[in-house]
Amino acid sequence: MPLTGIATDAIGVVTICLVALQILHGLLCIIYSFYFRARIRHQGYIQLKYFNGPWIIRILFILFAIWWGLGEITRLNFLRGDGRAYGSLSLRWQEIVCKGYIISNLGFAEPCMFLTVVFLLHAPLENMEAGILSRRWNWKTLGYIMLCCIPMFVLQLILTLVEPLLDRYRGAGKLPHYFTTVAWRSDGMALCTYPLLNTILLGLFDLILTAYLFWLGRHILRLVLNKVLRRRVTALIFSASGLLAVRVIFLGLSVLSKPRHLLFETLVFLAFLTVLSCTGLCICVLVYFPVADSLAVGNLYNLEPQRRASAEHNETSSLVSNIGESSVMSPGRTSDASWKHGSISFRAYEDGSSPGTLVELSHFSPSLDVAPSPAGWPLRTAAAHIQGQP
């Protein structure tokens, strides 16, 4: 059933608004990442450098997401027609825009975006010194992402540019038109479609990516002890895998209808929403939450001098009180009173307890010398705490 111009415009406006929100969200996360990096460099949070290691790849992922969102705007029918952005373009140039969209989004932005997710998830499995903490890691990872994306980009480019050649088989009745049609001409406009061959290629890529994501998630969940982090990783893997498959199905079914028809516009819009929601979740889990958690740990370090000063003041007051009471008490009772008002650590050693008791208590009352390990940071043994080793 053909849609009215108002319905088509409404879908276009909603799409533009959602992309704008995604861009705003991404830019705020980029600013947040730079703020976190500045805090680490100026306040000397050495241990937190591990969580800031992939900062370039995180920002790159957001830039890919922004690129993908802008590409989704270029395909909208809302921009076509008299007085619109593409109103002055000829049919040929409108078709070129549609081809550019297929090559840019399906061949580059979307594959790069989810390849970046894979590399960010794989980063904690690498050796710290040769991995995230290495200065070259970000640039090496960027090179690997581009290298893995090249085959997909080249294949989408070939399928899009050889459309005139494939039209010969279509004219001979050997190949249905929806296998190769990039744009549908209607009322003097070229409306973008999704060729089935390009969609099948995207589906094969997503299938390989999904299989690797499940394998990667299985290894990550074996190592993660933090329940919150386990839930985040599980939600990320299942949502990314499931939504990518659903998107390919929606795009494949879109060939059953035509642009500006209810079925086509609904399927394409739902396919857009699947990637948009998946991208938003990935930005939160891979960019925002690691930075927010690390800053929360950093705030413990900032509050520590005040806590220690308060503790020292309380111990001093307790000592003065003991001295005052000793003037009216017997020596034996003085010893008992001093025992009762001593510090926790002092009582532990006086009682002959092992130093491990002090270490366990330090986890609940962090100090500058023995700081608590943030979520995901390697745990330290009691002996390492006592010796002052990392």
Low-confidence winner among 75-79, 116-120, 311-315, 365-369 (lowest mean pLDDT):
365-369
Which helix (H) or strand (E) segment holds residue 340: the answer is: helix 331-340
Task: Write down the pLDDT at residue 50.
Answer: 64
Say if CB 260 and CB 306 are below 8 A apart.
no
Average of per-residue pLDDT values in the chain: 76
CATH architecture of 5-299: Up-down Bundle (1.20)
Question: In angstroms, how far apart are the furthest CA atoms of the chain?
Answer: 114
Mean pLDDT of 131-157: 88
Beta bridge partners of residue 373, listed in sequence order: none
Which helix (H) or strand (E) segment holds residue 350: the answer is: helix 344-350
Task: Write down the pLDDT at residue 249.
Answer: 96
Per residue in 176-206, pLDDT tens? 888 888 988 887 788 999 999 999 999 999 9
* Reported confidence tier of residue 171, pLDDT bands at 50, 70, 90: low
pLDDT > 70 in the chain, percent: 68
Task: Write down the pLDDT at residue 138.
Answer: 87
Q: Residue 46 and residue 240: Cα distance in Å, rounded?
A: 33
Residue 208 has pLDDT above 90, yes or no: yes
Per residue in 10-19, pLDDT tens? 899 999 999 9
Name the range with the highest mean pLDDT among 91-95, 362-366, 374-378, 383-387: 91-95
Q: Is 89 exposed, middle or buried (0-12, 13-18, 19+ CB in 10 A)?
A: middle
Mean pLDDT of 41-48: 67
User: 183 in helix, strand or coil?
Assistant: strand
Task: Write down the pLDDT at residue 332.
Answer: 47
Domain limits, the chain: 5-299, 343-390
Which stretches of 280-319 are assigned E, i.e. beta strand?
none
Say if CB 163 and CB 193 are below 8 A apart.
no
Residue 361 has pLDDT above 50, yes or no: no
Q: Residue 373 and residue 363: Cα distance in Å, rounded?
A: 9
Residue of higher predicted confidence among 281 and 7:
281
pLDDT > 90 in the chain, percent: 40
Task: Write down the pLDDT at residue 113.
Answer: 95
Per residue in 106-135, pLDDT tens? 999 999 999 999 999 888 777 665 566 667
Say if CB 23 and CB 66 are below 8 A apart.
yes
Q: Is 31 exposed, middle or buried (0-12, 13-18, 19+ CB in 10 A)?
A: exposed
